[in-house]
Amino acid sequence: MGKVYLVGAGPGDAKLITLRGLELIQKADVIIYDFLVNKELLAFAKEDAEIIYAGKQASKHELPQKDINALIVNKAKKDVVVVRLKGGDPFIFGRGGEEAQALAEHGVSFEIVPGITSAISVPAYAGIPLTHRDFASTVAFITGHEDEKKTESTIRWNELAKGPDTLVFLMGVKNLRTIKERLIKGGRNPETQACLIQWGTLPKQKVVVGKLGEIDIVAEKAGIQPPAIIIVGNVINLRRQLQWFESRPLMGKKIAITRARHQSIRLGEKLADAGAEVLYYPTIDIKPIRPNRKLSHAIDIIDQYACIIFTSTNAVSVFFEALSAKTRDARALAGVKILPIGQATASLLESKGIIPDFIPDTFTSEGIVETLKTIGINGKRLLLPRAEEARDIIVRFVRDHGGTCDVIPIYRTALPKNIVPLTSKPDIITFTSSSTVKNFVTLYGEKTLGKMVIASIGPVTTKTINSLGLTVHIEAERYDIPGLVEAILEYVKPVPVTHNR
């Protein structure tokens, strides 16, 4: 008999998962997840994990609850680790109690892993403290959607209307008018502040505020749909002063990343931290060239090189994999000068135990050439492990100035096997190399870029974009990921209003 873990996945933001929850996702043999679970969490699952969607949306049930209970029990009987991943917290209107009962009745071992409930986290992301010494000393959490089998409501509306200072309703959008009417009938002042928060804690979070007596009309005009929570209480007034999440510079912007998926994390995190909804459309797979006799030979004679030039993080990764395969490490490079193309490549080298000797002022091949001019390369032998297709500026310079440059292709770029459908149109699309541009056009067509704001990491990529007859709206002044993010932030910055005297 296996074991089941009822895990709260948090309110939406993937980073709000608990450490225990993440640990269990990583070790699970089977994951059964709900509609409100952030799909990014599933990327942490084992490659061979069975992943089953059992979501329930408002008025749309993929599986009845009894079938979900049976599914969990049956999977656990196969002597595997089952994670039942539920939005928010399993025991706060999540029917986790019913699932735990079913497991107990069938003698299945289980564990409850609490999650951060949307009842408290979503208001916090909207700048609304549920309690405050000056406004609210009590708070109540109420379901906005009672069991349809009930002949009448079991909620004590009169006591609720006159009791707790702050009311939080979950799953109540469809019943908003009824909730409003019952609270007012029970004695709640229709002038009391109310608000709805849709897709809380995510970049697409939407908040509407109004008086209780008209909140259903306000919500309808704003197009609020589930999932959303409802708050009633004067603590909502604090939102004017405390809202922080929606004030981030890229809030509401959809920004696409076209790099290889494993290389997109740093850019994605920086954009998300600034409030963007990040869309991943990887257009490249990095394929190490194997076997690679030339690379193997170069490692054997590594002490004959005066300098190794790394023009990308990919080159560093593949080179050090080959170095390790020959049971050698950073010590083999003692006495060899190391020249990376930029800070990202330098940082990866440092993680390998190598402190670069030089870093160009400009993170391009031209920048490397300028650095080589200061080194003096006449009569020296240099190693350039790089992509199969690359510009020859460095090679020509070295050879024209009396040096020898061993160019060894160690990886190639290819179209990804799994193409992500372009279902959501981004406001801004980023390109970090000429290959990402060419491959995007191959995969999605040139016309798809017609109305997008295009952001380029530097002049080489910009030249490729322009060659397609397209306009680059944003170009990084510093040709790396932080520089690209800075350029995007500068682009979206509001233009200050000047008043003529």
Active-site positions read 34, 56, 171
For the chain, the distance separating the N- and C-terminal CA atoms, rounded to the nearest angstrom, is 80
Rounded to whole angstroms, the Cα distance separating 31 from 54 reads 10
Residue 497: strand, helix, or coil: coil
Q: Tell me the three-class secondary structure of 36-71, residue by residue.
A: CCCHHHHHHCCCCCEEEECCEECCEECCCHHHHHHH
Q: What does the angle CA 195 – CA 246 – CA 136 come to, to the nearest 5 degrees?
A: 40
C-alpha dihedral, 210 to 212 to 217 to 219, nearest 10°? 60
Q: Do residues 301 and 326 make contact, with C-beta atoms less than 8 angstroms apart?
A: no
Q: Which of 54, 55, 49 is nearest to 81 (CA)?
A: 49
Structure tokens at 77: 């009987």
Contact present, 144 and 170 (Cβ < 8 Å): yes
Tokens 């399993």 sit on residue: 90
| Residue 217 C-alpha from the chain's centroid | 34
Radius of gyration of the chain (CA): 28
Which residue(s) pair with 50 in the sheet? 30
Amino acid at 491: Y
**Do 299 and 268 contact (CB within 8 A), yes or no?**
no
DSSP state of 421: P
The total of other beta-carbon atoms located within 10 Å of residue 64's CB is 11
Name the amino acid, one letter, at 18: T
